[in-house]
Amino acid sequence: MEIRAVILAAGQGTRMKSDLPKVLHKACGKPMLEHVIAATRAVGVERPVVVIGHGAAQVRTTVKEDVAFVLQKEQKGTGHAVMQTRPLFEGYNGDLLELFGDAPLLSPATLESLVRFHREGGFAATMLTAVVEDPAGYGRVIRDSATGHVVKVVEHKDASEAERAVREINTGIFCFKARDLFEALAEVKPNNAQEEYYLGDVLPILQKRGKPVGALVVANPLEGLGVNSRAQLAEAEKILRLRKAGALMDAGVTIVDPDNTYIDQDVEIGRDTVIYPFSFLEGRTKVGGECLIGPNTRLVDTSLGARVEATYSVLVGSEVEDDVTIGPFAYLRPGTQVRSRAKIGDFVELKKSVVGEGSKVPHLSYIGDATIGQGVNIGAGTITCNYDGVAKHPTLIGDDVFIGSNSNLVAPVKVGDGAYVAAGSTITRDVPPASLGIGRARQQNIEEWARRRRKGHGEGAG
């Protein structure tokens, strides 16, 4: 049976103290709104409708998911926000989820339970509620003491002292029969302290029409709570990360210390990989099986093959094939590709370069805008001088090349297959295949110079 969804994301989120729209603040590596969109897709919603207002342009450009945006020009409450979507649901008689874009902890399993409870009960509206220790600020769910049925929802500002003592709150998450919802919304009035149109006010209207209203208490009350402050965002972040770590460990990944390991929601990791503490795996990073990552390693939008070791290193926008060792203290910048069985050692920086199969850049080198062939050894302290102050230029190094330590390769330059570059050289012209390139001044020894210098300065003087 078809299911559709409306996600409310128009609020400013003043308690966040931010110029960024609240729903775009990230939790576990992605905007909160995208977590909610993903949850709706998991229960079969093909194209959710997102109501935007504050920071609308920024929300449109940031969210890459296939959604329909509806603008709420004035923020006059949740009911008013849903009213703006009515033209998109003309003729639709199925079920409609209503959610908030600042609830990243909501799981697909909970949404599935809500939809199932709604349909099996034959309800016109079903609300997701939560029982919490501190309900301050949330709308209270008032039930009939005899039957347990929901009578109404009262917002905190409008609640009496007795009603404020109720610990069951409205999460703001509903499942409606779409036709019943929009018919009832037409009768909602802003009769409250805020002079806003509350979505919860459709419930007594439906009940007066003889339409049944249901309420499902969520098993984990944290799932239904929105994020309204930086502190709550940090709490949501921790929960999501531990949830992600648990799923990875269930799939065969070893995470030595989940509390001190930070893995984003969309990261993929193969089985038998070990993640050591204080490692950050971010964005759309993919890690193959049997890898050793960390400690203190950061991977951002990076792909690693199988059996890769990366220690105390940073890799951003890079591709690494199988059986590669990286670090400690290496930095791979965007556009870098490292082929299988290569070695990138300590204090090496690679930028937009290709390191061929079995090649080694062991230590203390900068390689930028370079293509390195197979079986190459780059000596310590080698630099590709790729920038002339105006433009970047390429360095091409063929197969089986040996670059001596402390060499400067001034681009554009090419070193042919099987060639050698002598240590300490500055290479400004191409080195032909199987040749030796030397670019340094001839050494001159001046005998007895040091002794004469000491004598001239009074050797042995007090």
CATH of the domain at 217: 3.90.550.10
Look at residues 171, 193, 224 and tell me which one is the last residue of a structural domain: 224
Q: Which whole number is the average pLDDT over 346-358?
A: 98
**Two structure tokens written together for 118:** 């709604």
Q: Does residue 460 carry a pLDDT above 60?
A: no
| pLDDT at residue 145 greater than cutoff 90 | no
Q: Which residues in 331-394 belong to E strands, given as ranges? A: 331-332, 337-338, 343-351, 354-355, 360-368, 370-372, 377-378, 383-385
**What's the pLDDT tens digit per position in 209-224?**
999 999 999 999 989 8
Q: What is the domain-level CATH number for residue 254?
A: 2.160.10.10
| 213 in the same domain as 256 | no
* The total number of structural domains that make up the chain: 2
Residue type, 416: G
From CA 366, how far away is CA 350, in angstroms rounded? 6
Enclosing domain of residue 237? 230-437
Determine, yes or no, domain membership for 450. no
Q: State whether 279 and 147 are in the same domain.
A: no
pTM: 0.90
Mean pLDDT to the nearest integer, 301-324: 98
Distance between CA 428 and CA 423 in Å, rounded? 14
Residues ≥6 apart with Cβ < 8 Å to 265: 28, 29, 30, 35, 240, 244
Q: Is residue 453 part of a domain?
A: no
Residues 114 and 242 in one domain: no
Confidence category of residue 193, pLDDT binned at 50, 70, 90: confident
Shared domain for 156 and 182, answered yes or no, is yes
330 and 207, same domain (yes or no)? no
Q: Give dist(CA 156, CA 47) in Å, integer.
A: 33
| Residue 459 belongs to some domain of the structure | no
Structural domain contains residue 71: yes
pLDDT at res. 408: 98
Q: Are residues 103 and 193 in the same domain?
A: yes
Count CB-CB contacts under 10 A for residue 269. Answer: 25
Of 93, 51, 83, nearest in space to 68 by CA:
51
- Residues 11, 41: one domain? yes
Does residue 385 form part of some domain?
A: yes
Better-scored residue on pLDDT, 147 or 376: 376
194 and 56 within one domain: yes
User: Annotated catalytic, 363?
Assistant: yes
Tell me the C-alpha to C-alpha distance, in Å, between residue 433 and each of 87, 190, 355, 414, 462.
71, 82, 19, 10, 59
pLDDT at 462: 46
User: 174, 206, 224: which is the final residue of a domain?
Assistant: 224
Q: Both 199 and 334 in a single domain?
A: no
Average pLDDT, the chain: 95
Would the pLDDT of 331 be above 70?
yes
Buried-state track 183-195, b at ≥16 Cβ within 10 A, e below 16: bbbeebeeeeeee
Whether 237 and 148 map to the same domain: the answer is: no
Q: Considering 35, 80, 118, 363, which one is annotated as catalytic?
A: 363
Residues 200 and 76 in one domain: yes
Rounded to an integer, the average pLDDT of 221-240 is 92
DSSP character string of 55-67: BHHHHHHH--S--
346: pLDDT strictly greater than 50: yes
Name the domain boundary from 191, 224, 257.
224
> Per the domain annotation, does 443 fall within a domain?
no
